A = this chain, B = another copy of it.
Amino acid sequence: MPNFTFEVTKTCKQTGARLGLLHTPHGDIHTPAYMPVGTAATVKAMTPREMVEIGAEIILSNTYHLHLRPGEELIREAGGLHRFMGWDRPILTDSGGFQVFSLSGIRKIKEEGVTFQSHLDGSRRFISPEVSMDIQHALGSDIMMAFDVCTAYPCDHATAQDAMERTHRWAARCKAHHDKDHAHDDQALFGIVQGAFFEDLRIQSAKALADMDFIGYGIGGLSVGEPKPIMYGMLEAIMPHMPVTKPRYLMGVGSPDCLVEGVLRGVDMFDCVLATRIARNGTCFTTDGRLVIKNAQYARDFGPIDPECDCYACRNFSRAYIRHLFKAGEITGARLASIHNLRFLLRLMEGVRRAIAEDRFGEFRSQFFARYDMSRNF
């Protein structure tokens, strides 16, 4: 069996949403999948065994952060990222492209690569397509992302086109470097579709990347501040031009409504820090929308965060207790909210997959939005 296979196992007759199975050396991923984010080699406030318990089949980790701290050479010495962090299921690493543009200090972008300042210590660093591949090889992730050029919202057509064209050239360099000696065939490389908010560019990018024959495709540069309908429009524009037989990964998207809407439009994979970030602030997902646990109304609410949830937090603790933990500044509060929020999204995707399997994803989506209060969204 090859190291990587992707099979579309079912297409929903009601909607065209797809069910798939992505096989990797560290295990299989049932798609559509939400990937929790473990930026610095840990999903914040979580342990690997808790991640397994809540049903995570894959996590994402950030190349930029791990390159700066503790450094990919240390992780290579530790036996790779899986071993370093005690996670034996699949890992996807991003390329560092997005972080170089969003987190780092003064940067010079040339055709060769990007020179930037570390946000940690101000040190001068350089990442090129080849360097990004080398870092991801040292980390040993199952899925690697090509090093791309990101644009902001809004962005003019010329800038978007330049960034897209360089992204394509860099994608080719990434692929050439990665495939060089077949020493890393146990790691799959995904290309990234760019093109900002211009349908013509997005379509052009989807086609150009498809021609390069990557194992899978990221859709980058979305969810950067644009209204959601614009993002959905871009997905609709490109999907007819994305290879049907390859996984499609919408990068950095992970609010409950966007997961459902993304799946409807043919997305197979998602990642987002939202779930864990808001959890540490005491904001929880529920079937009815956002719940801010610190609010006074929950002080004597002895029911669970979400009565429909099966997570450890909801099975054992009340809103009143978790609110108390947040008011008292207890780490345990952040832990319970993180477990819940991650399980909420993973359980949502389990429901999505069951609905697709049973050709009723359209109904599932209607019921989700009938219940979910968009005025309490993200």
Interface residues of A (CB under 8 A from B): 40-42, 44-49, 65, 69-70, 74, 77-79, 84-86, 280, 299-300, 302, 312, 316-318, 320-321, 324-325, 327-328, 330-332, 334-336
Contact = CB atoms under 8 A, between A and B. Distances in A.
Nearest to A338: B331
B321 A69 contact: no
Nearest to A316: B86
Contact of A78 (B78, B302, B330, B332): B302
Contacts of A312: 47, 49
Contact of A302 (B46, B77, B320): B77
A321 B45 contact: no
Q: Which of A44, A49, A302, A328 lies at the interface centre, i.e. has the most chain B CB atoms within 10 A of its CB?
A: A328
A294 B235 CA distance: 46
Contact of A328 (B45, B69, B86, B316): B69
A74 B41 contact: no
Contact of A320 (B49, B78, B299): B78
B332 A42 contact: yes
A70 B324 contact: yes
Number of chain copies forming the complex: 2
B321 A41 contact: yes
A320 B44 contact: no
Given A70-B299, A335-B335, A78 B328 contact: no
A328 B41 CA distance: 10
A46 B86 CA distance: 19
A332 B69 contact: no
- Among A42, A65, A300, the most chain B Cβ lie within 10 Å of the Cβ of A42
Query: Which among A302, A320, A330 has the greatest number of chain B C-beta atoms within 10 A?
Result: A330
A299 B74 contact: yes
Nearest to A336: B47
